[in-house]
Chain A
């Protein structure tokens, strides 16, 4: 079965076509600037790469182009749209309703719509993609895979904020967590790497990319995660502040004469590594500046490392121990320096890094020494594959049920 995986933003969409259950990627692409006359469509297959600029006015049109490209003679990887057996959508917020992936129905869409207040930028865009796909491929079952779903196993004492309880009752103000699909995928790779079943393991998963989140996974279930009601909570990120004293908001707004929008923009886009360094939110640029002796870049990187390590310590305490520490996503997979700095201050846990494996190795691997009490792993994340797996499994289940 061919499974099309979609990640729709308000003016862009990323797609990837998988052959399942082989899990091979047949093609991947992205369309940007949807809604304009010069929308850009880039895609690559095993044999070729292509980029074209053309007017694409809405998501329905964009998805028609995707399907046309997949089935075209030049770039075509399938002979007809009927080969697509399932479509998997990344949906950012599933609230408390969805603790796993689901086949999309009218009720599911209504629930996603109802969660818009919690993810005003993302859920409406995800819905646009879902509804457009229903028009383009009306008979193909679609599946929603939620960023929040994996963290729905958090116990109440971990997900509630110590605020008046009525705010939770009235508005569902609570911690939800994000990057769930990535943390779930990485956790699923752990048993093969450490040769032990997840049921006996305490895992701390560090997704360090543009956004950063740390998750405590006990017996394969998320019991706590650093992001909260929105992806702004938790560790310091590229341009996001992470945890702050909530009284700071009023103070800064008054002193600087800021509106709520300006404050939100400051915390989301002008803070983190960028805010401290004044240079960039990109770890690669920060490390270059640090190597050249930039004091502010050095400070920013030290804070970044420290704040991630604090969460690891907190989650070791939350689980009364840790067996596996894993790093994933852009920075987590590609910065041996960050991993080494974090691990060098966790020796009290009995952690010992294998320097060579950390610096020289590539891909999925263990980077702790054999004597280390904690296994440290690098696991390249594969959120799209996880979405394809869920979509495939659910649709196969659906077909069996129909038979």
Chain B
């Protein structure tokens, strides 16, 4: 199946980034959210996102305009009717996602693939209320998709081979690498990264090393492109806590229990790059200024 138009539901930061990654390769995108206010914010954020790439010479002014012109924002569910693929990027809650999937099923063609960008929730459960669970699949774009080539293509219990093949081909078409994953909480990447962030924040809280040194250790010592705190700031600390909590609830394994320090930062509103402050501080364009505070023992 030739995918020419993709619908993205949820114009938050994840939805924007996925929209930009797809529109960036020339595919038309319809970005849906409930209110015009959210969509207006999304448009501004998308411009900012593209300006960041322009400043790094990653795209040209003309490419920026072309990408924006390919993303159509709407509040009308019916506009998703012509899409061959829908990707939901709404809040990471099982009730919200499963209701959404059941409600959009009737506006799209029988062949349309329905994908969820969830990283921790059960795809099988999201699909449970739909009439055609065989066309449900997970497309977990690693965050941020501009810097990460990987997409976890997740099979739920009833996902058909055709759905998987179309989805994997689509991932290849947009220049990303697909790995096949069978449903399990956190899949591969999230399950490995979240405990790392959690453990790093314990190290920090215990005063063992500074934010910058812990990141340096993993980058220089272990060949990571980003350190655990840099990754946490990119993800958003609120999302990190939410995902850990979800894994913890699903598995009852204490290693996924979010540390008190992570929760404290979230309560303080220091949730990462998006609000210019997480473990690090950032300027308006998202460039890092300095470590937020020094070591961690005093916290």
Contacts and interface: CB of A to CB of B under 8 A. Distances in A.
Interface residues of B, number: 11
Interface in A254-313: 256-259, 261-263, 265-266, 269-270
A36 B4 CA distance: 7
Contact of A265 (B26, B28, B59): B59
Contacts, number: 31
B269 interface: no
A261 B58 contact: yes
B298 interface: no
Interface in A240-266: 256-259, 261-263, 265-266
A57 B4 CA distance: 9
A291 to B, nearest CB: 24
Contacts of B147: 259
B4 A262 contact: no
Interface string B8-19: 000000000000
A35 interface: yes
Nearest to A266: B57
A252 to B, nearest CB: 10
A237 B58 CA distance: 19
A262 B26 contact: no
Which of B28, B53, B56, B59 neighbours the largest number of chain A CB atoms within 10 Å of its CB? B56
Which of B56, B57, B60, B147 neighbours the largest number of chain A CB atoms within 10 Å of its CB? B57
Given A35-B26, A257-B56, A262-B56, 5 more contacts: A35-B2, A57-B2, A57-B4, A265-B59, A266-B57
Which of B4, B28, B53, B58 neighbours the largest number of chain A CB atoms within 10 Å of its CB? B58
Interface of B: 2, 4, 26, 28, 53, 56-60, 147
A262 B147 CA distance: 10
Contact of B26 (A11, A259, A266): A11
Interface of A: 11, 35-37, 57-58, 256-259, 261-263, 265-266, 269-270
Contact of B57 (A11, A57, A262): A262
B288 to A, nearest CB: 9
A251 B59 CA distance: 20
Contacts of B58: 259, 261-262, 265
Contacts of A262: 53, 56-58
A349 to B, nearest CB: 38
Contacts of B59: 265
Contacts of A261: 58
8 contacts: A259-B147, A262-B56, A262-B58, A263-B57, A265-B57, A265-B60, A266-B57, A269-B60
A234 to B, nearest CB: 20
A263 B58 CA distance: 7
Nearest to B58: A262
A269 B4 contact: no
Contact of B4 (A37, A258, A270): A37
Nearest to A36: B4
B56 A258 contact: yes
B26 A258 contact: no
Contacts of B57: 258, 262-263, 265-266, 269-270
A47 B1 CA distance: 40
Contacts of B56: 256-258, 262
A265 B60 CA distance: 8
Contacts of B28: 36
A257 B288 CA distance: 11
B226 to A, nearest CB: 11
A21 B57 CA distance: 47
B60 A58 contact: no
A80 B118 CA distance: 55
A58 B3 CA distance: 12
Contacts of A257: 56
B2 A270 contact: no
B202 to A, nearest CB: 28
Nearest to B62: A269
A262 B57 CA distance: 6
Nearest to B149: A261
A393 B195 CA distance: 68
Nearest to B287: A257
Contacts of A259: 58, 147
B50 to A, nearest CB: 13
B265 to A, nearest CB: 24
A256 B2 CA distance: 38
A13 B253 CA distance: 57
A365 B16 CA distance: 56
Contacts of A269: 57, 60
Contacts of A258: 56-57
Nearest to B3: A35
A35 B4 contact: yes
A177 to B, nearest CB: 26
Contacts of A57: 2, 4
B292 to A, nearest CB: 19
Nearest to B56: A262
Contacts of B53: 262
A61 to B, nearest CB: 11
B7 to A, nearest CB: 15
A270 B60 contact: yes
Contacts of A256: 56
Nearest to A57: B2
B210 to A, nearest CB: 21
Contacts of B60: 265, 269-270
B26 to A, nearest CB: 6
Contacts of A263: 57
Contacts of A266: 57
A134 B106 CA distance: 40
Nearest to B63: A269
Nearest to B147: A259
A57 B56 CA distance: 33
A261 B147 CA distance: 10
A265 B4 CA distance: 25
Contacts of A265: 57-60
